[in-house]
Structure 1
Amino acid sequence: MRRPPRPDPPPDADDAALFREAIGPVRPLAHTPDTVPAAPKPLPEPRQQQDDEREALLQSQRNPFAHAELALGDALEYLKDGHPPRLLRRLKRGQYAVQDEIDLHRMNASQAEEAVRGFLAESRRARRLSVRIVHGKGLRSAGDAPVLKNLVDRVLRQRADVLAFASARPQHGGTGAVLVLLLP
């Protein structure tokens, strides 16, 4: 069985005197009350920077690619990489039955964007994979570019669930509407 070590004997007077001599003169510390130091103040929040970052993110989501805006009469066309071109040809010929449609006339850009996103999400949930979006030709748009048409083109290109889209045939809206195929 092991015994606990014995405590060191207290220093004798000679050792204490040697220690004080080696240290030299000392001055006692002033007594301070037993208070807990105050918690550090929180760092300031860079609210303007946070607002700027949030706005930059929204703008990058709205316009991530610098592609040329469409002009009046331009046809929309897109096919997701890795899919056969005949899919787009069949879509342009109107060989897919339109299962639902939305009309964006009389909406501003933000209303139209929200409506298109909601319409596409609901169409996928309901397994309606061939839809038409009527955006108009932009004849009354301010400036030279059709606002809603460009918005629809941009939104559709950003979505991972869009397989292909193309402007409708003339009897179904022509360049004022777009046919969309969604991934199942």
Structure 2
Amino acid sequence: MSTAPGKSKPQKITSLADLKRVKADIEAQAQRAAALAAQQAVEAKLRMAQSNLFQAAVGAVKPLPEKRRAQLAPAPPLPIPKQQQRDEAAALVESLSDEVDVSSLLDTDDHLSFRRPGVGPDVAQKLRKGKWSIQKQIDLHGLRSDEAREVLGQFIRDAHKQGMRCVRVVHGKGLGSPGKTPVLKEKVHRWLVQKSEVVAFVQAPPAQGGAGALVVLLQPLRLG
């Protein structure tokens, strides 16, 4: 019966001397195995040290570009909406005061009206007669003063940018206010006078709101 390759033939133990010899062989094999393991550990540490030294010497690396791959330029940044930014900045800067005294700016005709310096009195007459048809309107009923001021300012800006010439502003007659004083009506007068887009305004005819509304003429839109 043959033995497997790499394995020594079993030794027959017939005496104490044979037993000591087998013990010595086993200890020698254990010492050789320990020495081999220690040598392998030292070699592994050496390889690791050499690898770290190489990486430290080379530093960070980048993959070479593949010749068959197209090098695309980065996407250009989105265009900046400059006009929108200007409009928003103008809206923030704009501040319509409630303290402006407009008594000297209003014409003391039958219903009070306003027109910019240099604008003839016939403009107010044409507004009352419906020379310009009303293209858009806003109703400020139920809004607090601060809300009404902001909403009215935005309404006038938008209407002017859309090229509209004549709009109606409904402010109410103030019958529901304390003391039935038309507080919002007077404030709307002040706010409109401060709007550069406004050329003139008159009290609306009875069929269009009478004392509770204004017909407002806007500056023509300048193109370019």
Q: TM-score, normalised by structure 2?
A: 0.51
* Counterpart selection for 2:213 from 162, 177, 183: 177
Query: Pairwise mapping of residues 28-177 of structure 1 onto structure 2 (< 5 A)?
Result: 61-65=97-101, 67=103, 75-177=111-213
Counting matched residue pairs gives 123
- 2:172 is paired with a residue of what secondary structure? coil
Deviation at 1:120, TM superposition (A): 0.1
* Aligned mates of 2:186, 2:135 — CA distance in 1: 23
Change in Cα spacing, 1:143 to 1:67, as seen in structure 2 (3 Å) is farther
Q: Deviations over 1:124-164 (max 9, x none)?
A: 11111200001111101123521211111010111222100
**What amino acid sits opposite 1:96 in the alignment?**
W
- Show the counterpart of 1:36: none
* Aligned mates of 1:136, 1:97 — CA distance in 2: 21
Q: Which moved more, 1:94-103 or 1:58-67?
A: 58-67
Q: Deviations over 1:12-54 (max 9, x none)?
A: xxxxxxxxxxxxxxxxxxxxxxxxxxxxxxxxxxxxxxxxxxx
* Aligned mates of 2:199, 2:102 — CA distance in 1: 21
* Aligned mates of 2:96, 2:196 — CA distance in 1: 16
* Aligned mates of 1:155, 1:92 — CA distance in 2: 21
Change in Cα spacing, 1:144 to 1:66, as seen in structure 2 (3 Å) is farther
Q: Deviations over 1:77-120 (max 9, x none)?
A: 10111012111100012221000000011111111111100000
Change in Cα spacing, 1:92 to 1:141, as seen in structure 2 (3 Å) is same
The runs of 4+ residues in structure 1 deviating greater than 3 Å are none
Change in Cα spacing, 1:145 to 1:67, as seen in structure 2 (3 Å) is farther
Conserved? CA contact 1:76–1:178, under 8 Å: no
Measured on the aligned residues, the alpha-carbon RMSD in Å equals 2.4
Gaps spanning 5+ residues in structure 2: where?
1-93, 105-109
**What amino acid sits opposite 1:119 in the alignment?**
F
- What percentage of aligned pairs have identical amino acids? 37
More helix by share: 2
Change in Cα spacing, 1:101 to 1:168, as seen in structure 2 (3 Å) is same
Conserved? CA contact 1:76–1:175, under 8 Å: no
- 1:163 is paired with a residue of what secondary structure? strand
